[in-house]
Amino acid sequence: MPKTSQSAKLAPISTISPPAADEVRIPISCDVDIVKARQAGRRLAEDVGFVFTELALIATAISELARNIVRYAKSGEIAIRPITNSARRGIQIVALDRGPGIRDVEQALQIGFSTAGGLGLGLPGVRRLMDEFDIQSKLGQGTTVRITKWKD
Amino acid sequence: MRMASATKPRSRSLLRAYQAAMCEYVKKPREAGLERAYELGRRALEQGAAMVDVAGIYHHALVAVLQRTKEPLECVRKTRVAGNFFVESLSPFEMTYRGHHEAQAALRQLNEGMEAEAKRIAHALHDEAGQLLTNVHFALERLADVLPPCSQPLIEDVRFRLAEMEGQLRRLSHELRPPMLDLLGLVPALQFLAQGVTQRSGIEVVVQGSTPERLSPLVETALYRSVQEALTNVTKHAKASNVTVQVQRQKSEKDAMVVCSVKDDGVGFEIQPLSGEQPRHGLGLLGIRERIKAVAGSLELKSAPGLGTELCIQVPLNT
């Protein structure tokens, strides 16, 4: 089970994703944008050193997040960047929207909350594909999901 | 059984879409094609397809893609590109698979918690309620000493009822968490359970079979609870007069498994396959299914109106 943290406060964009030189940001509002985000994510993840099966899972996570934006918030943004800590390299993806927000985040992460969730897709599915998962949502203000996958 | 679903209309439309998308991707390997693969995998999942169904569909599609390709190197390239498409379409299944694992672990934990709780209640019933009853016995004896002789038959009647209650309490506490299950194993515990059911309901319950050696505690508990639940179902719904419980160890070349069946001669019922609306006794069955799933086993329910009901459980022993 990946690390999960939640907080009700929605941080301003600047603190969520400090600008990085190799960061890619893709505005999301339709299916074509989902493809762009996947492509960008796959390219960056490949540079980090992920193998092709891992790339498929990363692209899938991006798809699920981007799908949620298109479906629930109509528009938003996905930012992708390579990250490093002392030991490892990885990739971080931040999906951000100013949509209706999620009433009960805890519940949204449960299997069976939505149709997609019932199959283990959607947010619960994304959380399982990643090493770290962080979600902040406020009703009427929007949702930010930040996910990280480390290269072992 | 699963592969047969490839001929269902919905699967056929999935097959056509998959084949078209893969052909397109092999011609033009772009992200949009992989996104399509992922969407198709998701659609397959939502339609209830299994991973092997997708593998079958991929195989069909690959054959179609390679059909008119003569050049060997081109075949290799196409196969490799198609492989990427395939992996992408399986990705949604990976999400579900991981969730399933987690759910299974949670379920096992829940069952273990319930067992511990049943043990606690069984002890409380046996020790504490038993102690209280003993106190009542003493009080009754004191009362008997001071009451006139003509009330002795009444005292005797109360004594008899108290003893009966004590016996019933002990039996219930033992069934709740049979010490026998831990001490002697599955079959003796089931025999004890069967006696209790016969006593209470008048249904003749026979337990047959044996297991040469002890099974793992997890498997023993899962089977005991499943038979217990099945017998409860029989007494509640089946209108049966005989029940046979059979426990057998089966060994094939590769793996050993224990097979446990509960068969009654009651009214039976119409089994509605895969429909959400199960008859009321479906709820107990759901509990059994979950328990058996948690030890990687499988179960089969056979019944028809007027023909009784048989529940057959198989649990592999290598886990």
Taking an 8 Å Cβ-Cβ cutoff, which residues of chain A contact chain B? 1, 31, 34-36, 38-39, 42, 52-53, 56-57, 59-60, 63-64, 111, 115-116, 119-121, 124-126, 128-129
- Give me the half-sphere count of Cα atoms (radius 13 Å) on the Cβ side of residue B135: 6
Q: What is the pLDDT of residue B200?
A: 87
CA–CA distance from B25 to each of A19, A48, B32, B42, B81 (Å)?
A: 35, 25, 8, 18, 8
- All residues of chain B having their beta carbon less than 8 Å from the beta carbon of residue A119 are 45-46, 96
Question: Using alpha carbons only, what angle is made at residue B53 by residues B50 and B54, rounded to the nearest 5 degrees?
Answer: 95
- Tell me which residue range forms the domain holding A78: 3-14+22-151
A40 residue type, one letter: A
The CATH class that applies to domain B183-319 reads alpha beta
- All residues of chain A having their beta carbon less than 8 Å from the beta carbon of residue B48 are none
* Cα nearest neighbour of A124 on chain B: B99
CA trace torsion B292, B293, B299, B304 (10° rounding)? 100
Residue B233's closest CA among B184, B195, B190, B269?
A: B269
Helix then strand count (H, E) for chain A reads 6, 6
Is the separation of the CB atoms in B229 and B287 below 8 Å?
yes
Token duo for residue B227: 């038979």
Provide the greatest CA pair distance for chain A: 40
B interface test, pick of A52, A63, A71 with most B CB neighbours within 10 Å: A63
* Cα nearest neighbour of B35 on chain A: A35
Q: How confident is the model at residue A115 (pLDDT cuts 50, 70, 90)?
A: low
* Cα nearest neighbour of A38 on chain B: B31
Residue A11 has pLDDT above 60, yes or no: no
Neighbour tally for B119: CB within 10 Å: 14
Separation between Cα atoms, residue A83 and residue A48, nearest integer Å = 9
3-state secondary structure of B50: coil
Q: What is the mean pLDDT of chain A?
A: 85
B309: CB partners within 8 A, 6+ apart: B234, B238, B263, B264, B266, B268, B269, B301, B302, B303
Separation between Cα atoms, residue A63 and residue A37, nearest integer Å = 8
Cβ-defined contact of A125 to B46 (cutoff 8 Å)? no
ipTM: 0.80
- Residue in A35, A52, A119 closest to B35 by CB: A35
Separation between Cα atoms, residue B203 and residue B102, nearest integer Å = 40
More confident call, B288 vs B3:
B288
Residue B38's closest CA among A76, A43, A124, A34?
A: A34
Q: What is the pLDDT of residue A15?
A: 46
Q: What is the pLDDT of residue A34?
A: 95
Token duo for residue B235: 């007494």
Overall domain count for chain A:
1
- All residues of chain B having their beta carbon less than 8 Å from the beta carbon of residue A120 are 95-100
What are the residue ranges spanned by the domains of chain B? 3-102, 183-319
A interface test, pick of B35, B38, B96 with most A CB neighbours within 10 Å: B35
- Long-range Cβ contacts of A32-39 (<8 Å, 24+ apart): A33/A66, A33/A70, A34/A62, A34/A63, A34/A66, A34/A67, A34/A70, A34/B35, A35/B31, A35/B32, A35/B35, A36/B31, A37/A62, A37/A63, A37/A66, A37/A78, A37/A80, A38/A62, A38/A63, A38/A66, A38/B31, A38/B34, A38/B35, A39/B31
pTM score, two decimals?
0.63
pLDDT tens profile B91-120: 999 988 888 787 777 877 888 888 888 888
Q: How confident is the model at residue B8 (pLDDT cuts 50, 70, 90)?
A: low
Q: Say what percent of chain A tops pLDDT 70.
A: 80
Across the strands, what pairs with B315? Answer: B258
Q: How confident is the model at residue B214 (pLDDT cuts 50, 70, 90)?
A: confident
Q: How confident is the model at residue A18 (pLDDT cuts 50, 70, 90)?
A: low
pLDDT tens profile B171-197: 888 878 788 888 888 999 999 999 999
- All residues of chain B having their beta carbon less than 8 Å from the beta carbon of residue A116 are 46
Q: What is the mean pLDDT of chain B?
A: 86
Cβ-defined contact of A120 to B87 (cutoff 8 Å)? no
Average pLDDT over residues B61-70: 91
CATH number at A43 reads 3.30.565.10
Neighbour tally for B20: CB within 10 Å: 14
Token duo for residue B252: 């094939």
A6 residue type, one letter: Q
